[in-house]
Structure 1
Amino acid sequence: MKEAKAELRKIVAFSEKEHETFVEHKKLEIVHFHLQNNIFYKDLTGVTTFTRWEDLPVLNKKNLQKPLQERLSEGYSAKNIYVNKTSGSSGTPFIFAKDKYCHALTWASNMYRFDWYGIDFNVSFQARFYGIPMDFIGHQKERLKDALSHRFRFPIFDLSDKVLDGFLNHFRTKKFDYINGYTSSIVLFAKFLQKKNIVLTAICPSLKVCMVTSEMLFEEDKLLLEKQFGIPIVNEYGASELDLIAFQNPDDEWQVNSETLFVEILDDNDKAVPNGTSGRIVITSLFNKAHPFIRYDIGDIGILDEKSTLQKPILKKLIGRTNDVAILPSGKKSPGLTFYYVTKSIIEDDGNVKEFVIKQTKIDTFEIEYVSETQLNLAQIKKIEKAIELYLEPNLKFIFIRKDTLERSNRGKLKQFKSML
């Protein structure tokens, strides 16, 4: 960690020209390393040397769905790597590895960004809104990690009012410094506070900031969180197999990690698009020698701001997952979050609906599952259908299903749109 922190400090201090030289050097170094030491990557590229970055293949998650042992570089084994599994929120989970130094740099990168808001991982106390393994050994292991990491976990599989009231009591009795966790769960807690007319800092004045992750943060939800928590809300975007990809800086920009990653936005033909244009987010891990993540298509669509530079790229917009696209009867393709945006703005007018998800079951049919105090009435349903017709196209069918709880992943994430086609 000491070495990783020192290297990160050095990278952050580079001039623009020094940073450009650093990135080009690391890109060449990491590719040459894997071409010489990684049979999986050598087979994927079909070459032993390369001349143009753009000629390198784009790696996707399906390429990685083979035993980890077949993907590790020479000299790396269980003894000198960090191994974990992706959440599968893209629909394609897989096991990955990082060498120990790369993993240390990931933590150094996290610490550097959290420090922007006065959070020190060694001493700051975290209120953690995450899932937790339900088996006895896994559960106890996670609780021990929480204790050693200065955090108290709020398991998010049951978010009924009774459970949220218990969460609130912990804020009354514990001196939390910050909140971190899944967006949907934290938003639900804020709605509970709104209903009780409570601002969180009034009962827990030690709170400084809230970091939300793993799910989309909508602007109106951000405003709700700021109002009910009384602290700044920071939006982070990351991937366990890589690092923090983008983190909201104190100037309210979604600053992309250019210290340990190289981020490209590519079109469907794997060509770079101009800043300001949407495309696939493709990422290279500049330090991971145990496992190649070179021109790796993470499965998301985004836009880099026009003012981005190599040293300070700014993520203007994260549109969503590439597999979260609705294909409509007319042939039109639309990001699933379009439905979510439109429906959300209408459904939440009176605060009756707590959460909802949308599933496309047929080319023209969508199910909207929702949790609410009272059932949606005909007027509300017609209003939603009319808005979607305006934003998308007419003659789409909607089935509204009221539920007590929504299905979350085994980690507690809420998938807001899903195409079953």
Structure 2
Amino acid sequence: MFSIFDLSLQLNAFPIKKAKSDLEQIIAFSAEEKKQFIENQKQNIVEFHLENNPFYHKLVGSKNYKNWEELPILNKTNLQIPLESRLSKGFSTKNCYINKTSGSSGEPFIFAKDKYTHALTWASNIYRFGWFGIDFNRSFQARFYGIPLDFFGYYKERIKDFLAHRYRFPVFDLSDAVLEKILKKFQTKKFEYLNGYTSSFVLFAKFLRKRKLILKDICPTLKVCMVTSEMLFEDDKNLLETQFGIPIINEYGASELDLIAFQNTQGDWQINSETLFVEILDENNNPVPNGTEGKIVITSLFNKAHPFIRYDIGDIGILDEKSTLDKPILKKLIGRTNDFALLPSGRKSPGLTFYYVTKSIIEDDGNVKEFVIKQLEIDQFEIEYVSETELDLAQIQKIEQAIALYLEPNLHFNFIRKNSLKRTSRGKLKQFTSLL
């Protein structure tokens, strides 16, 4: 098959050939060369943004810094201002890759990557998926993800799916009737791998277990399943391995950064140290010893369009005791769980469905700072939010229209503006909670 995926990136001015070549060189470094590379990239990216990014210069307070540990911790609240005021000189929304974070942390914002950095993200994905015999240009993917339901958004994603050689199963409705239709697709299509939200796969696996079916028996071409975006618990992993009949690979990433960690062929959750620098810090922003939990703070080593330097992603994790600078291993990730919404029609929708609902209130003016959603009754929900100004009637109607589109009509939402939101003992916001 023609390399249509690579070509589509090149045609959109993402230099994938150069990114792949550069990544290969980084991977080939010796341990000592890799350490020097990381230190050089850290220094280069900080100096670049101090010189060319007024937003970052103001955050640091000076164009000079003595050591890495002096640099401020960047958090999502810092980034909830218009994107144009965060871009480096020479970069604009016209010459960058622009996207929104999912809002799964309850703190959404719009971000940018320069086109080379975005190409490096894809090169990183291609490299890691290749560990398991997956080729983005040839391997056929069964994709369990959300999809925009407006006309242009929907068909844009479908075109991207075609170019990426994947078939998408939208996860807004995972009732048994829908899962039955999904199952029939596996009988007729030669999928090589699955990729998508953990909770959606768990629902599908439970559906298969009820019917005493193994997915690989139905679709023998399947090789592997990559789960992402939500916590993978051990009992869920065992369920997936049993009902799918293939290895389950754990992925941890962030759209504004890259793949952060990806389970390697030895079963270790290997951190991406080619394009990122990952630190685990305590509440006072001091590094903790390997084996100790702390907040995950990440630096994008290449992104010149937008600074992600010592960026607190909002997760808690532990580095393995055997981690080294050139080959860090994530021992444990704490957080990123999502409940399901059970709706009056009988539909079950993953908590991540609310990403597509809340897109309608993620505005670039940064008004809505944080939000959490609670299901109180089968048809009663509550949205608590922190904002500079109260949501007006037009905004609420827009949200209600999105809710009817992505979930179902006749759901009742109460909007409550707050000064602050209740967090877990670890300082995390859980975007969706069901009290049923």
How does the TM-score come out when normalised to structure 1? 0.78
2:94 is paired with a residue of what secondary structure?
helix
Deviation at 1:78, TM superposition (A): 2.4
1:146 equivalenced with 2:167 (yes/no): no
Change (3 A) 1:109 1:307: same
Q: C-alpha deviations, 1:9-67, integer Å up to 9, x for none? A: 01111111100100000000000000000000000000111120000000000000001
1:246 equivalenced with 2:268 (yes/no): no
1:228 equivalenced with 2:239 (yes/no): no
Deviation at 1:144, TM superposition (A): 1.2
Change (3 A) 1:356 1:238: closer
Change (3 A) 1:355 1:155: closer
2:78 is paired with a residue of what secondary structure?
helix
1:238 is paired with a residue of what secondary structure?
strand
1:163 is paired with a residue of what secondary structure?
helix
Change (3 A) 1:114 1:418: same
- Pick aligned residue for 2:73 from 58, 72, 88: 58
Q: Could you say which residue in structure 2 is the equivalent of 1:299?
A: 314
Q: Could you say which residue in structure 2 is the equivalent of 1:237?
A: 252
Deviation at 1:79, TM superposition (A): 2.8
CA distance in 2, matches of 1:370, 1:241: 34
Q: Could you say which residue in structure 1 is the equivalent of 2:180?
A: 165
What amino acid is aligned across from residue 224 of structure 2 in structure 1? V
Deviation at 1:320, TM superposition (A): 1.3
Equivalent residue runs for 1:13-412 within 5 Å: 13-320=28-335
Deviation at 1:418, TM superposition (A): 4.4
Deviation at 1:95, TM superposition (A): 0.3
2:313 is paired with a residue of what secondary structure?
strand
CA distance in 1, matches of 2:67, 2:406: 41
Query: How many equivalent residue pairs?
Result: 344
CA distance in 2, matches of 1:271, 1:419: 35
CA distance in 1, matches of 2:328, 2:74: 22
Change (3 A) 1:244 1:277: same
How does the TM-score come out when normalised to structure 2? 0.75
Q: Could you say which residue in structure 2 is the equivalent of 1:333?
A: none
CA distance in 2, matches of 1:23, 1:35: 18
Deviation at 1:77, TM superposition (A): 1.2
- Unaligned runs of 5+ residues in structure 2 are 1-15, 340-347, 352-373, 379-402, 408-429
What amino acid is aligned across from residue 167 of structure 1 in structure 2? I
Change (3 A) 1:133 1:409: same
- Unaligned runs of 5+ residues in structure 1 are 322-335, 341-353, 358-366, 372-406
Deviation at 1:356, TM superposition (A): 9.4
Change (3 A) 1:369 1:222: farther
Deviation at 1:203, TM superposition (A): 1.2
Q: C-alpha deviations, 1:154-204, integer Å up to 9, x for none? A: 011111111000000000000001000000001100110111111011110
Q: Could you say which residue in structure 1 is the equivalent of 2:381?
A: none
CA distance in 1, matches of 2:262, 2:252: 6
Change (3 A) 1:263 1:135: same
CA distance in 1, matches of 2:322, 2:42: 23
2:335 is paired with a residue of what secondary structure?
strand
Deviation at 1:419, TM superposition (A): 10
CA distance in 1, matches of 2:40, 2:65: 14
What amino acid is aligned across from residue 80 of structure 2 in structure 1? Q
CA distance in 2, matches of 1:276, 1:12: 25
Q: Is the 8 A contact 2:20 2:120 kept in 1?
A: yes
CA distance in 2, matches of 1:14, 1:53: 23
Percent identity between the aligned chains? 69
